[in-house]
Amino acid sequence: MSDGTGLVEVLLGLEGFRVLEVIEGSGELVVTIESTSAVTGCGVCGTRALAHERMPVELRDLACFGRPVRLVWVKRRWRCPERDCPARTWTEHSDHVDAQAVLTRRAGAEACRQVGENARPVSGVAAELGVCWWTVMNAVVEHGTPLVDDPDRVGRVHHLGVDETSFLKANREHPTIYATGLVDLQQRIVIDMVEGNAAADLRKWCAGADPAWLAGIGVVATDLAESFRSGLSPHLDHATRVADPFHVVRIGNRCVDKVRRRVQQETLHHRGRKADPLYRIRKLLLSGAERLDEHGQDRMLLGLRVGDPHDELLGAWLAKESVRDIYLADDPDQAELLIDKAIAGCADDEVDEIRSLGHTLASWRTEILAHHDTGASNGPTEGLNLCVKKVKRCGHGFRSFENYRLRVLLHAGGITWPTRPLPPRIRTHAPYSDA
Ligand SMILES: [Zn+2]
């Protein structure tokens, strides 16, 4: 644009538009534009249309040099001169702006990227742009849905992870509502989120998936939830089921916690207080034995001696350690020996909680041992769960599961965002710098 005309149009960067006026409003730049098409034909009969009237439409566009931009598009209304033509009048349209939209398409796409890729709160993006919450959320749905539905987003999956996350906390109207996350354990992406954590919810999702895709799944890692185990049937019966080690160890920890609370209540007749011997060692009890130093061991033994008169908690601690031992073995045969030892030890115990732990271990024996054969665990989903939580936190409590699912998948679902070329780097101006 060396002739001096069209400089503002270069700045604007919207093809097919001309800038009529730029004024500085309060807290924003107001840019008045019109389309460059001064001639058009009637869409019905093809006769050259007559200019009928103009009406200004206000839009939000991307910020310009740090200032929010209000675009005022003086839209043309055309009229067909043929008296009998049914077209009568119509308004022009542009590929840059959707009918009825408040945001230009490029601003909508950027809003979607901010909320999706960067997991920013919708309200923050809305305030920054100067539009309402719904405008941004609608843009996220409109631009984000095709990215999430892209059939190339999830490729072939060999190791599937299934994990539950809480979606809505319990309140007066409903109990805690859960969601089930399906994860590609090797690519480390969230494949999908399903509302609910019941067997039927998972089964329904599997029933809707491509059978050829399901056939490619060799390993499924889940926590120790009966609902997941039965929900994977019949569609994933061919896959090796693995009980996730973290969750297996956690049932051991839970057993320790349960026995500690009960013994506490029975001996002192109140819930744990700061100075109570068992309450003081609650964290030591859950640490791995090999991680306790001498001082820690002494403290734990002292606490048990004072607070656990019938050695019930000591028994639970030993049972928990026997569960952890399963994972110290790399060799599948050794692991088999160790789990059978743990199960037998629990079965002989007089304490209900410990016997119950033994039942659970026996019921999941095959799946627990499958970890040693496949090496699969839901470990990779832990990082993804953090992503999910980040989305959840910034949503301040979702009401719509669909929106929640969309935002989780945009953030952690392996989306291929439309690429923008990176600008060349401008080097530092410091004259004597080494950079
Ligand atoms: Zn016409």
CA 59 to ligand 1 center in whole angstroms = 29
Angle between helices 352-363 and 332-347 (to 10 degrees): 150
Angle at 177 (CA atoms; ends 157, 262), nearest 5 degrees: 105
CA 37 to ligand 1 center in whole angstroms = 18
Determine the Cα–Cα distance for residues 126 and 128; give it in Å rounded to an integer.
5
CA 159 to ligand 1 center in whole angstroms = 60
Give me the phi and psi of 18, to 5 degrees please. -120, 145
CA 54 to ligand 1 center in whole angstroms = 19
CA 433 to ligand 1 center in whole angstroms = 68
Preceding peptide of 234 cis, ω within 30°: yes
CA 82 to ligand 1 center in whole angstroms = 6
Give me the phi and psi of 349, to 5 degrees please. -75, 155
Question: pTM above 0.95?
Answer: no
Per-residue pLDDT tens digits for 317-341? 999 999 999 998 888 999 999 999 9
CA 45 to ligand 1 center in whole angstroms = 4
What single string gives the DSSP state of each residue in 29-89? EEEEEEES----B-TTT-PBPEEEEEEEEEEEEEEETTEEEEEEEEEEEEE---TT-TT-E
- Mean pLDDT along residues 2-14: 78
CA 49 to ligand 1 center in whole angstroms = 8
Per-residue pLDDT tens digits for 37-46? 888 899 899 9
Which neighbouring-strand residues pair with 349? none
CA 85 to ligand 1 center in whole angstroms = 5
What pLDDT score does 2 carry? 41
Residue 344, SS3 per DSSP? helix
What pLDDT score does 397 carry? 62
| Reported confidence tier of residue 1, pLDDT bands at 50, 70, 90 | very low
CA 101 to ligand 1 center in whole angstroms = 27
- Closest C-alpha among 116, 180, 198 to residue 403: 116
CA 48 to ligand 1 center in whole angstroms = 8
What pLDDT score does 301 carry? 92
CA 80 to ligand 1 center in whole angstroms = 5
Structure token pair of residue 331: 């060799």
CA 92 to ligand 1 center in whole angstroms = 15
- Mean pLDDT along residues 279-299: 90
Per-residue pLDDT tens digits for 408-421? 999 999 998 988 88
- Mean pLDDT along residues 255-262: 94
CA 104 to ligand 1 center in whole angstroms = 29
CA 217 to ligand 1 center in whole angstroms = 58
CA 86 to ligand 1 center in whole angstroms = 7
CA 44 to ligand 1 center in whole angstroms = 5
CA 285 to ligand 1 center in whole angstroms = 84
- On the 0-12 / 13-18 / 19+ scale of CB atoms within 10 A, 27 is exposed
CA 99 to ligand 1 center in whole angstroms = 22
CA 43 to ligand 1 center in whole angstroms = 7
Contact 92, 40 (CB under 8 A): yes
CA 15 to ligand 1 center in whole angstroms = 27
Per-residue pLDDT tens digits for 129-185? 999 999 999 999 999 999 999 989 999 999 999 988 877 777 888 888 888 999 999
| Reported confidence tier of residue 388, pLDDT bands at 50, 70, 90 | confident
Q: Which of 37-41, 301-305, 380-384 has the lowest mean pLDDT?
A: 380-384
Which neighbouring-strand residues pair with 170? none
What single string gives the DSSP state of each residue in 363-425? HTHHHHHHHHHH---SHHHHHHHHHHHHHHHHHTS-S-HHHHHHHHHHHHS---PPP-PPPPP
Tell me 432's DSSP state.
Answer: T
Q: What is the mean pLDDT of the chain?
A: 90
- Closest C-alpha among 269, 344, 342, 266 to residue 310: 266
CA 1 to ligand 1 center in whole angstroms = 38
Handedness of CA 385, 367, 195, 215 (dihedral sign): positive
CA 87 to ligand 1 center in whole angstroms = 5
CA 34 to ligand 1 center in whole angstroms = 23
Question: What percent of the chain shows pLDDT beyond 90?
Answer: 65
Is pLDDT above 60 for 55?
A: yes
Per-residue pLDDT tens digits for 197-242? 899 999 999 999 999 999 999 999 998 988 998 999 899 999 999 9
CA 79 to ligand 1 center in whole angstroms = 8
Contact 292, 299 (CB under 8 A): no
Is pLDDT above 80 for 296?
A: yes
